[in-house]
């Protein structure tokens, strides 16, 4: 390798190291900004048009949906957060702390019925992270079995009217949130 080629490799490597990490925060800020805009749009639709609200949520970007779920949980007073990027997240899209207990969050933007395989993946992630429980937040359809199986593992399925209840949060942050098990039952 010539000295000139080595110089080019070093410069390109340095550019990658310096520029790539800056792209993730910018991308995340964009998704959060879009999620806030969508949150306002869903609030504007109100409870009068639940079908339109769900249809709209099914069309948004999947990563923006994840950010929307985190924003909505925080509006209800929960301590929800993302601590990783959008890919390679270990099967979870967010975490939530309630009274020192870790809950994991999985968000799915589906049009069809959510399978029990998705629930099983969340159960496995719950065990892997030693979490107390989990939230499966999705825009698809849920079977009764999905809900009943979720309860066995302390995983709450949040879709349909529960999803809209979560997103249609008050405009201010709540200081004393309702316990998760009461909010989602």
pLDDT given at position 94: 94
pLDDT given at position 25: 77
- pLDDT < 70: residue spans in the chain: 1, 5-6, 9-24, 84-90, 169-175
Q: Structural domains in the chain?
A: 3-183 (3.40.1350.10)
Reduced to 3 states (helix: H, G, I; strand: E, B; else coil), residue 133 is strand
pTM of the entire structure? Answer: 0.81
pLDDT given at position 183: 79
Cα–Cα distance, 140 to 71 (Å, whole number): 20
pLDDT given at position 76: 87
Q: Which residues fall within 8 angstroms of residue 178, CB to CB, at 6 or more apart?
A: 76, 77
Measured CA to CA in angstroms, residue 131 lies from 42, 122, 127, 146 at distances of 30, 11, 6, 19
Distance between terminal CA atoms of the chain?
65
């Amino acid at each position: 390798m010539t000295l000139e080629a080595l110089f080019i490799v070093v410069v390109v490597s340095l550019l990658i190291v310096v520029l790539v990490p800056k792209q993730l925060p910018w991308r995340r800020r964009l998704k959060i900004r879009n999620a806030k805009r969508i949150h306002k749009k869903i609030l504007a639709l109100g409870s009068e048009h639940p079908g339109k609200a769900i249809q709209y949520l099914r069309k948004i970007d999947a990563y923006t949906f994840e950010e929307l779920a985190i924003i909505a949980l925080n509006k209800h007073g929960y301590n929800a957060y993302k601590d990783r990027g959008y890919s390679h997240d270990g099967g979870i899209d967010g975490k939530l702390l309630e009274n020192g207990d870790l809950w994991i969050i999985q968000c799915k933007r589906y049009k069809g019925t959510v399978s029990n395989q998705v629930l099983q993946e969340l159960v496995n992630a719950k065990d892997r992270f030693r979490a107390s429980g989990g939230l499966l937040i999705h825009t698809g359809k849920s079977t009764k079995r999905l809900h009943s199986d979720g309860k066995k593992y302390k995983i709450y399925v949040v879709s349909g009217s529960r999803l809209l209840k979560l997103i249609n949060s008050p405009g201010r942050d709540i200081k004393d949130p309702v316990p998760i098990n009461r909010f989602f039952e």
